[in-house]
Structure 1
Amino acid sequence: MNEPMVSIIVPIYNVEEYLEETLKSIVEQTYTNIEIILVNDASTDKSLQIALQFATVNPSIRIINQPFNKGVSAARNTGLDLANGAYIMFVDSDDLLSKNAIKNMMEIVSKQNADLVLGMYKSFNEKGSTLPNIFQNYTDITEGIRVFDYINPELFWNVNSWGKLIKKELIENLYFPEDINYIEDQPFSMYTYLHANNIYLAPSITYFYRTREQYDSLSLIAPKRPISSLNNIFASFKLGMSYFDSVNENKNILQEIYISRVVNGSIKYIFEGALQTKDSLIHKNVLELLINWIRILDPKIVSNESFRKVFVESVNQYLSFLDNTSAKLYIELLKEIKFKIKAYFEQKMPR
């Protein structure tokens, strides 16, 4: 019986320092029925030359050159259009796969008829590696375990597109939003969680996520472009929430997890980073943007505990960064949150 093909999609843009190590970890997979789709997004360094060197000795590699830099979403979408595999995996071009990653995940597919397999991953850099908190309870498992939103909801905080094995049928006609360039993969991941019938967690580290401070630190991103970052978050969140509309079962818990992930895991750090700029105009613009966003949200969304944790619990700390004008805006933000929460509970009261 032939093993199903796995398509590994790697978007590439100016990663000459890391690409060789990444590609080596892919071509050395012990699961051999793979195709490797390298989408060169108009790199200006030696990334393409490195990719070509690997392709000359490995017939499973295909290289696609984007005519100009379109961004990571467009590169992934190009890979999706060309993928022939029954299963898809995304690998970022500076990250690594463990040697048995695909083999271990495909064994779960075979045994459990899984259409989505999550691999545990470690974040690493030159200082060492760490296992994210969401995986701390699973270090001793020896077999893949079924993932349910009401049993192990913390696993749904993993909203990255990379490092997962996805049945292609699950994502037919699903693409990454090319007009969003920050947390653009979160809606894609939420769609897979909402529509997968069998989700499993692999019992091993399958992926190593390289943290590069200038690209991964939200505290560095926020001072440089807090307004565009927030606008991207809002657009990504709107798209992600739209995927809940067509789902009836088990969506409430997942929706709460997703809201908390966005507010606690993204907005919080952009907001705090913006405050630390000590730039009163940035403070004013960020607060106005947040107020206007919260005003259009459904009260049910704002009733999520994350809004209180992020914006209310640290009120004194946040006020210490603000001048009088921005402090008034912050108080207005808190009032808007309170108003929305009150409206939600009034809606729930029997009439």
Structure 2
Amino acid sequence: MEESFMPKVSVIIPVFNVESYLAECLDSVIGQSFYDMEIICIDDCSTDNSLNILMAYAHRDSRVIILRNDCNRGLAFTRNVGLERASGDYILFVDSDDYIVKDLVGITINEIDSVDMVCFNYKKKDEIWNSGDEHIFKMKRGIYEAQEFFVDTVNNNSVVHSAWSKLYKREFLMQEDIRFITGILYEDIVFHFLCMMKAHKISCIPEQLYLYRVRNDSIMTKRVESKNITDYFRIACFIGQFYLEHSFDTRLEKAIEQYIQTVYHSFICNYRRYELANHGYILKEAIAEKRFAKIFGIVSGIENYYGRVQKKIEENIGLIKDGNSILVYGAGDIAKEVIETLNYYDVILEGVAVSDKSGNRKSLFGNKVREITEYLYKRDESLVILAVTYKFYPEIKLKLSELGFNHYLEIF
């Protein structure tokens, strides 16, 4: 890169064993309509052909900068290396197995002058289920107070933790000393939280500008082990400590509590699902954190919202497997938990049903979301699993009865 070139945007791309996807990622970044960028690629000691691919692109385009860790350090450390090397006014993170639309940088940079970061929408490309899923962005275009944005996204269940879903002012990240916590998984959760707590204003763009790939051998889809579970707990404790050390208004306080509880539920449900009998210390450590009892909701052991979902499925797995046609009613987080548990037991679904599919996800784990009336031809043989909160049961059971669905399983 010529010495006189001063990049406006620093694109940070951590790279580790992604030879099958790296070219598509780099092509999408290099091909941006906005040119004034440095493209910082940090190889985390890949053992495949990733480094050679990077070198070929650096030879073709002087904006591509290659750094290499001395040993495999993980995603958080590698992103931090990129942050320290960056010289642009703005920061964009791109994962090396994903890709971005041509105008992402140009669109977001026009929105960032008066804010600390710009949040944008994304589309998921699921290679495991061979499906595409449009993320439903529930926030309208506009400029928001950052903490108010956090409250609204928590309340309407539309939080996007991912570092790659935002363009950041580098000055903001440096002044607030916001970095990724190393040595843990799911580092984006804390990074997102700190950005929301410390930023003044953010801009929101509903356009889908990022293509997020879900693949079998990624960090997010590998089989859960004890570290995955303990890291959820450590993240909950980190945010819990921040919560205890600061004062907030009532709305923000409740939103932070809900945010922590969501992370903690991930810890509990994974603990239950994989029955890590040899890692009982994890749960003992959690219960010992009495100063977080109010937030975690640890009152009488480990029974909790998501735990009840899994327990109910486990108790009725024989009935479910004997069914000819299994429908999951609902398309929210409870339905996701139900489907994940059913997948664990190799249960094949007929589909996912809702009363009205407008405003709902188009698919869940490769299962199309359809209105319940589209399954009328299966009503005599279907077992419908009610994957919604209890308060909706009377209304849904009445509707199912009117349509002739007489067999259902209540989760709560």
TM-score, normalising length from structure 1? Answer: 0.76
Quick one: distance in 2 between partners of 1:248 and 1:54?
A: 49
Instruction: Describe the shift of the 1:189–1:285 C-alpha distance in structure 2 as closer, same or farther (beyond 3 A).
Output: same
| Structure 2: gaps (5+ residues) | 318-412
User: Could you list the per-position Cα deviations for residues 177-203 of structure 1 after superposition, in whole angstroms to 9, with x for gaps in the alignment?
Assistant: 2221x1122111110011111122213
Instruction: Describe the shift of the 1:106–1:246 C-alpha distance in structure 2 as closer, same or farther (beyond 3 A).
Output: farther
Greater helix proportion: 1
Amino acid at match of 2:100: L
Quick one: distance in 1 between partners of 2:262 and 2:108?
A: 25
Instruction: Please name the residue that 1:193 is paired with.
Output: 196
Instruction: Describe the shift of the 1:100–1:245 C-alpha distance in structure 2 as closer, same or farther (beyond 3 A).
Output: farther
Aligned partner (choices 259, 279, 289) of residue 282 of structure 2: 289
The answer to whether structure 1 residue 274 and structure 2 residue 274 are counterparts is: yes
Q: Which structure is richer in relative contact order (CA contacts within 8 A, separation 6 or more)? A: 1
User: Could you list the per-position Cα deviations for residues 242-263 of structure 1 after superposition, in whole angstroms to 9, with x for gaps in the alignment?
Assistant: 3445653454144134214313
Displacement of 1:235: 1.9
Quick one: distance in 1 between partners of 2:259 and 2:282?
A: 21
Instruction: Describe the shift of the 1:299–1:43 C-alpha distance in structure 2 as closer, same or farther (beyond 3 A).
Output: same
Native 8 Å contact 2:179 2:191 kept in 1: yes
Instruction: Please name the residue that 1:228 is paired with.
Output: 227
Displacement of 1:67: 1.8
Instruction: Please name the residue that 2:307 is paired with.
Output: 311
Tell me the secondary structure at the aligned position of residue 148 of structure 1.
Answer: helix
Native 8 Å contact 1:186 1:240 kept in 2: no
Tell me the secondary structure at the aligned position of residue 166 of structure 1.
Answer: strand
Map 1:230-245 → 2, pairs under 5 A:
230-244=229-243
Quick one: distance in 2 between partners of 1:246 and 1:85?
A: 33
User: Could you list the per-position Cα deviations for residues 55-86 of structure 1 after superposition, in whole angstroms to 9, with x for gaps in the alignment?
Assistant: 11211111101121111111111101101111
Instruction: Describe the shift of the 1:307–1:31 C-alpha distance in structure 2 as closer, same or farther (beyond 3 A).
Output: farther
Instruction: Please name the residue that 1:262 is paired with.
Output: 263
Instruction: Please name the residue that 1:302 is paired with.
Output: 296
Quick one: distance in 1 between partners of 2:163 and 2:298?
A: 24
Quick one: distance in 2 between partners of 1:243 and 1:167?
A: 23
Displacement of 1:155: 6.5
Greater strand proportion: 2
Quick one: distance in 2 between partners of 1:311 and 1:301?
A: 17
Tell me the secondary structure at the aligned position of residue 215 of structure 1.
Answer: coil
Amino acid at match of 1:270: N
Quick one: distance in 2 between partners of 1:234 and 1:186?
A: 12
Displacement of 1:271: 3.0
Displacement of 1:269: 4.9
Amino acid at match of 2:210: Y
TM-score, normalising length from structure 2? Answer: 0.65
The answer to whether structure 1 residue 23 and structure 2 residue 17 are counterparts is: no
Displacement of 1:3: 10
Native 8 Å contact 1:260 1:304 kept in 2: no
Quick one: distance in 2 between partners of 1:3 and 1:39?
A: 20
Aligned partner (choices 55, 60, 65) of residue 57 of structure 1: 60
Tell me the secondary structure at the aligned position of residue 15 of structure 1.
Answer: coil
Instruction: Please name the residue that 1:79 is paired with.
Output: 82
Instruction: Please name the residue that 2:180 is paired with.
Output: 176
Q: Percent identity?
A: 27
Instruction: Describe the shift of the 1:259–1:24 C-alpha distance in structure 2 as closer, same or farther (beyond 3 A).
Output: same
Instruction: Please name the residue that 2:247 is paired with.
Output: 248
Native 8 Å contact 1:256 1:304 kept in 2: no
Bigger drift between 247-256 and 184-193 goes to: 247-256
Higher Cα Rg, which structure: 2
User: Could you list the per-position Cα deviations for residues 213-259 of structure 1 after superposition, in whole angstroms to 9, with x for gaps in the alignment?
Assistant: 333665x522xx1x221112222222233344565345414413421
Quick one: distance in 1 between partners of 2:246 and 2:36?
A: 34
Native 8 Å contact 1:215 1:221 kept in 2: no
Displacement of 1:151: 3.7
Amino acid at match of 1:93: S
